[in-house]
Amino acid sequence: MKNTQTRKKASSVSKAGSAAKTGKSAKPVKAASKKTASNPYLAGTRIDPRPACKDLKVADLVDKLFLSYNAGRLREACQLYSRKMLSNDVTIGMSLAGALTPAGLGQSALVPLIEAGFVDWIVATGANLYHDTHFGIGEELYAGSPFFSDIDLRDKGVVRIYDVVFDYHVLLNTDAFFREIMRSEVFQRPMGTAHFHHIVGRFMHEREKALGLKGVSILSTAYRAGVPVYTSSPGDSSIGMNIAALALEGSKLLLDPNVDVNETAAIVLDAKRTGGKSGVFICGGGSPKNFMLQTEPQIQEVLGIKEEGHDYFIQFTDARPDTGGLSGATPSEAVSWGKVRPDSLPDTVVCYLDSTVALPLISTYALTRTKPRKHKRLYDKLPKLMEKLMTEYKAIRKKGLR
C-alpha cells in the first residue's frame, strides 16, 4: 500500500513540474483502478471538463464540454458527420422538415454545407423551399415575438411563423415570382421535382446576381453545385398551390412523384454499387425523412434488388418514438424495415434537439474539422444513375423474381 501511494505521489509531482514549465496549472490526476481500466462500460470520455473560457472555439466547445445527455448526442453527431460521413466515398442525403429557412438556417448553415460539398442530395418540404425563395428575391423577414397579438398582426398585414414576422406582401411577391418563371416554356411539361428545382435555382441565381446577392438561397446554391433537391409532397406548399393555379390557365407543368421515387433510389444504389456508402442527415422528421429512408425499401422490397440499408444515420428531432410516428422512429426500428444496415447501428445518432440549435453548431463543427469535398454533382449524373437502376431491375424481372 505504501509503494502504491509513493507512485501516485511521484506521478503527481511529475505532472506538476511539467505544468510549471509550461505555465499551466495542473489538476490532480486520479489513477484508474484495475477494475475501472478493464471494464468496457467505463471506457468512455471521463466527465472532467475544463472550465469554459472566453476564447473557446465552437468545435472545441462541442468536443470538450458537450459530454452528456443531448449535448453528448450532439457531440457524437458532430464527430460521426465529420470523421466518417464526410469521407469522399460517402453519399450524403439531407432531409429538411420544419420551418428552418424562415429562421435564416438556409444561408447561415445549409448553404455553407452545400458549398463545401458536405451535402450531396436533399429532400425538403415545399414550404422550406418556398420560404428560401424570399431571401433569393430580396424580400425581408424579421425577428419578432411569439407573444404578438395575431389579431393585430392580421390587421396590420403581418404574417407570423412563431417568432419570425414579415409583411404579407412577401408572400404575394414570392407567388408572383413563381408564376412569372413557371409560365416559361422550359416548364411546360411533366418533370420530377429535382429537375423543377434545378430550373428554379437557375432563375434564382440570375435574380440574385441582378440584386447583388450571393449565398442566400439553398436552391440557387444547389443549382450551382449540382445538388438535386426533391420535395416529397409537392402539392403541400405555396409552390404547389401556384402550380395548381397555373393549371387553370392551361399550363402543362406537372410534378411526377414516380420520377422522384426512382431517382432517389438510383442515387442510393449507385453509392453502394460504386464501392461507397450512403449516409442520411435528418433534420426534423415528417414526409422528407420517410422519403429519404424509403429509398432502401424501394430498392430491396419493391424492385427486388439485393441491398442492405443506409450506412450512417444522424437525426435531430423533438418527436418521441413511443407515439408510433415516423418522425420519432429510431434507427433501430428502421433496421427492421431494411432502411438501415444492421451492422451500422453503432454509426447512428438521434439527438433530441431543435434543428435551429443543432444546425449552426454541426455545420460550424464540420467546416472547422473537415476540408471541403469535391462536389459529386449528382444532378448531372441522374440519367446514368437511372440507367444503372433500370439495368438491375430488368435483370430481376428477366429471372421472374418480380
- Per-domain boundaries in the chain: 61-398
Cell 412569372 appears where? Answer: 180
- 11 has pLDDT over 70: no
| Distance from C-alpha of 365 to C-alpha of 79, rounded to nearest angstrom | 9
Q: So what's the pLDDT on residue 51?
A: 93
Amino acid 7: pLDDT: 42
CA distance 127 to 99: 7
Q: How confident is the model at residue 46 (pLDDT cuts 50, 70, 90)?
A: confident
Q: Pick the catalytic residue from 272, 289, 339, 376.
A: 339
Neighbouring C-beta atoms of residue 286, cutoff 10 Å: 20
- pTM for the predicted model, two decimal places: 0.89
Does the pLDDT of residue 9 top 50, yes or no?
Answer: no
Mean pLDDT of the chain: 92
Task: Work out whether the CA dihedral 201, 202, 204, 205 comes out positive or negative.
Answer: positive
Q: Is the pLDDT of residue 164 over 80?
A: yes
| Residue 394 a catalytic site member | no
State yes or no: pLDDT of 24 exceeds 60: no
Q: How much of the chain, in percent, has pLDDT values that exceed 70?
A: 91
Residue 314: phi and psi, rounded to 5, are -125, 130
Which CATH class name applies to 61-398?
Answer: alpha beta
**Which tens digits make up the pLDDT trace of 244-301?**
999 999 999 999 999 999 999 999 999 999 999 999 999 999 999 999 999 999 999 9
Question: Does residue 31 surpass a pLDDT of 60?
Answer: no
The pLDDT of 80-101, averaged and rounded, is: 97
Instruction: Give the model's pLDDT for residue 35.
Output: 60
The mean pLDDT of 33-45, rounded to a whole number, is: 77
Whether 122 and 377 have beta carbons less than 8 Å apart is answered as no
The answer on pLDDT for 107 being more than 70 is yes
Give 113-163 pLDDT, tens digit per residue: 999 999 999 999 999 999 999 999 999 999 999 999 999 999 999 999 999
* Rounded Cα gap, residues 181 and 272, in angstroms: 37
Task: Tell me which residue has cell 458532430.
Answer: 78
Sheet hosting strand 142-143, strand order edge to edge? 142-143, 164-167, 158-161
- The closest of 66, 120, 113 to 93, measured between CA atoms, is 120
Residue 233: pLDDT above 50? yes
Q: For residue 32, what pLDDT is reported?
A: 55
Query: In the structure, what pLDDT confidence band is assigned to residue 8 with cuts at 50, 70 and 90?
Result: very low
Amino acid occupying residue 329: A
What does the pLDDT look like over 345-360, one tens digit per residue? 999 999 999 999 999 9
Q: Which three cell numbers stand for residue 311?
A: 450506412
